[in-house]
Amino acid sequence: MNYSFEEVRLSLPHIELSAHVFGPEDGKPVIALHGWLDNAMSFARLAPKLNGLRIIALDFAGHGHSDHRPAGAHYQLWDYAYDVLLVAEQFGWQRFSLLGHSMGAIVSVLLAGAMPERIERLALIDGLIPFTGEAEAAPAKLGSALREQLALAGKRKPVYEKVEQAVKARMKGVGGVSLEAAQLLAQRGLMPVPGGYTWRTDSRLTLPSPLRFTQAHTEVFVRSVACPACLVVAEGGMLHAQPQVVSSLEGTPIKVERLAGGHHLHLDDEAGAQAVADCFNRFFAAP
């Protein structure tokens, strides 16, 4: 499986990120954001099928070939949003669109709601809002997160003797993926270590969130999105099991498209990638 892209390294003031670049230099500016524990290869099938776009597919901090955050720093959604803004600044993009999958879609909605003057369009794949939590659960949630943080130093990443073993493990991971999708993610996500291979991702990414938005918070962010937006809901994905989330979009500019496939439908196979591309090509071509 060979996919054509340009590899770039982006030096932000506080961290270096890696990215894949697709499309013509004069294309509409788009920053593509992958899901939790994935990497830029998430868009390897989809990005080449999107017409007239200049796509910067990031490895989020702590993922893929991007740097890990320094000791004492964390991976909160708003930290990713800040990184995205700095990437846009590097390319001189005052207005740009976002293409987000899963966690990347969530970051996209938060950024579009917080800074509507910067975001042109939102193309979202099976992701919309973060898991929520109400105020009464906050002390216990923070306590659990702090205990997990203290215990992290004693934990070690799994080591796989062969790449194929890691690929099989990824197929069964969060938002289970096809064999080819797992191979693509592993291609960028693994690194050699004594005894075999392990994942490049920062172990801190597996820590639970210390604090969650309330339902009211997320509703306000969604309703603050002012730009045209298209959300692809996978019939076998995560949002399909949360109909109340999708139904909350009534009265917002977010248009919903339902497609067959799993949570990674844009990566699992060529047919799924083409179906998503057909939706988004219509969306980006619309006035």
Catalytic sites, residue numbers: 102
Tokens of 36: 């939790």
